Chains A and B, each alone.
Chain A
Amino acid sequence: DAGITQSPRHKVTETGTPVTLRCHQTENHRYMYWYRQDPGHGLRLIHYSYGVKDTDKGEVSDGYSVSRSKTEDFLLTLESATSSQTSVYFCAIRATGTENTGELFFGEGSRLTVL
Chain B
Amino acid sequence: QKEVEQDPGPLSVPEGAIVSLNCTYSNSAFQYFMWYRQYSRKGPELLMYTYSSGNKEDGRFTAQVDKSSKYISLFIRDSQPSDSATYLCAMYDRNTGNQFYFGTGTSLTVIP
Chain A interface (Cβ < 8 Å from any Cβ of B): 31, 33, 40-45, 48, 50, 56, 58-59, 90, 100-109
Chain B interface (Cβ < 8 Å from any Cβ of A): 6, 8, 31-34, 36, 41-46, 49, 51, 88, 90-92, 94, 98-100, 102-105
For the complex, give the distance between the alpha carbons of A78 and B34 in Å. 30
Asked if A106 contacts B44 (CB within 8 A), the reply is: yes
Chain A contacts for B105, CB-based, 8 A:
42
Minimal Cβ-Cβ distance residue in A for B46: A103
Asked if B43 contacts A106 (CB within 8 A), the reply is: yes
For the complex, give the distance between the alpha carbons of A103 and B44 in Å. 12
The count of A-to-B residue pairs whose CB atoms sit within 8 angstroms is 61
Minimal Cβ-Cβ distance residue in A for B34: A102
- Given A105-B46, A107-B43, residue A50 in contact with residue B100 (CB < 8 A): no
Asked if A33 contacts B98 (CB within 8 A), the reply is: yes
Report A100 CB to chain B, min CB distance, Å.
5
Asked if B32 contacts A101 (CB within 8 A), the reply is: yes
Contact for A90 among B44, B51, B90, CB less than 8 A: B44
Report A103 CB to chain B, min CB distance, Å.
6
Asked if A109 contacts B91 (CB within 8 A), the reply is: no
Report B74 CB to chain A, min CB distance, Å.
15
Chain A contacts for B45, CB-based, 8 A:
105-106
For the complex, give the distance between the alpha carbons of A48 and B104 in Å. 20
For the complex, give the distance between the alpha carbons of A100 and B92 in Å. 10
Asked if A41 contacts B104 (CB within 8 A), the reply is: yes
Chain B contacts for A45, CB-based, 8 A:
98-100
Report A51 CB to chain B, min CB distance, Å.
12
For the complex, give the distance between the alpha carbons of A45 and B42 in Å. 18
Asked if A102 contacts B100 (CB within 8 A), the reply is: yes
Nearest 3 A/B pairs, CB to CB: A102-B32, A102-B92, A106-B43
- Given A33-B98, A109-B43, residue A42 in contact with residue B91 (CB < 8 A): no
Asked if B94 contacts A100 (CB within 8 A), the reply is: yes
For the complex, give the distance between the alpha carbons of A43 and B33 in Å. 15
- Of the candidates B6, B8, B44, B103, the one having the most CB atoms from chain A within 10 angstroms of its own CB is B44
Contact for A108 among B34, B36, B42, CB less than 8 A: B42
